[in-house]
Amino acid sequence: MVKQLHVIVVGAGLGGLTATLALQRAGVRVSVYEQAAALGEAGAGVTITPNGVHVLNHLLGADVVGRVARTPAAGAIKHYRTGAILVETNRGNRMQEQYGAAYCQAHRADLHGALADAVRAMDPGCIHPGCSFGALTENGDGITATFRNGVSATGDLLIGCDGIRSAVRRALWGDEQVSFTGYIAWRGLVPMDRLDPGVIVPDSASFAGPARTFARYKVRGGTLVNYAAFSKRDEWAEESWSVHSEIAELQREFSDFAPEVQAIIAATPPERCFKWGLFDREPLGQWTRGRATLLGDAAHPMTPFLAQGAVMAIEDGMVLARALEAAADWREGLARYEAARRERGTFVMRESHVNARRMYSRDPDNYGSSSHKTAESLGLYAYNPLTVPV
């Protein structure tokens, strides 16, 4: 039955493209509508833990994943001021041996491009850019999405994959209350040739400071250093993650951090430094209404404090395709999908908030392995979207 479906996907991010590719592999016709005028060089670094790499290896092939992502040779939590190693987080071959998949870090655009290429190889005309979602209507025969450029599309199902400020979620469930978490973030990309190689040792590191964190790792074959920096702030007005930040502002915020952090910030090209505020939304009690459901941040918008946002969207996409393929009809398929995913998505969403409180109340001078909580220690890496019951 699944092969007879036509699925409309709203949003061509990592989750939307994963769902599209997985559905295409199941024989489903998919039409993807993306608000951006073109798919291209957007975002910065992204961490994909073993629970997500299972899916990427399956859909793209391990050779492609190995080309667009890299496994850090070593990692550490460092003291914010001295740079001394507090906890080693070396993963390397252990992830593959323990979970059957690697721990990877990539430039989001490289991974996104690989997924888009694979989707287009299955159906060259299935991605429609420049289509900002406007509304949906449903009847007994199907569901229709209309877009602000006048385009409309009708299919059997609609999947809202349009991110943390999802217009599809709003169309299904109405406006929601959004509150500032008290955290702001910066991101930046620094060409490796602007840095002394000795500064970036080990490959991946996070600096634990009082109410602040600075994390960095290599992407794009080691030619770029991606960083994300977080700090507490009393108020913030803008949720956008593409507000340019002055380098001097970041330098002031982290002026007491180790010299290697100072060197990375100072080497940042001005056009590659951005800042954004982190906002809270309550978990949804239901993702599916009629022929429409949600996926990724549209379903479970989460803060980045477990580095699982992209991975949860990738998991969703694979499980959705498997659930529809296993079901007798689309109603059963959507029910199976939500039953398999909503509890996990909500759990990770809540635990990310808990981890934020833990991270920003820690004492760097008395930090050790017992203080270090991660997605792995919560058991998240052991999940395999290819085999979990649906």
The contacts of residue 214 (CB under 8 Å, 6+ apart) are 80, 206, 207, 227, 228, 229, 230, 254, 257, 261
CA 52 to chain centre: 10
Among candidate residues 217, 227, 337, 381, the one labeled active-site is 217
- Here the tokens at position 241 are 């993650």
Annotation says 337 is catalytic: no
Tens-digit pLDDT profile for residues 187-206:
999 999 999 988 999 999 99
Length of the chain: 390
Tell which wins on pLDDT, 57 or 182: 57
Confidence of residue 1 (pLDDT cuts 50, 70, 90): low
pLDDT over threshold 60, residue 237: no
CA dihedral 211, 248, 197, 276 (to 10 degrees): 50
The contacts of residue 94 (CB under 8 Å, 6+ apart) are none
pTM for the full model? 0.95
What is the structure's pLDDT at 236? 63
Tens-digit pLDDT profile for residues 268-324:
999 999 998 888 889 999 999 999 999 999 999 999 999 999 999 999 999 999 999
Phi/psi of residue 264, nearest 5 degrees? -65, -45
Q: How many CB atoms lie within 10 A of CB 66?
A: 14
- Here the tokens at position 282 are 């309550």
Confidence of residue 370 (pLDDT cuts 50, 70, 90): low
How far apart CA 124 and CA 119 sit, in angstroms, is 8
How far apart CA 259 and CA 267 sit, in angstroms, is 12
Tens-digit pLDDT profile for residues 72-113:
988 999 999 999 999 998 787 899 999 999 999 999 999 999
CA 172 to chain centre: 23
In angstroms, the Cα distances linking 366 to 159, 344, 387 are 46, 32, 40
What kind of architecture, by CATH, is found in domain 2-69+109-176+283-361? 3-Layer(bba) Sandwich (3.50)
What is the structure's pLDDT at 239? 55
Per-residue pLDDT averaged across 143-169, rounded?
97
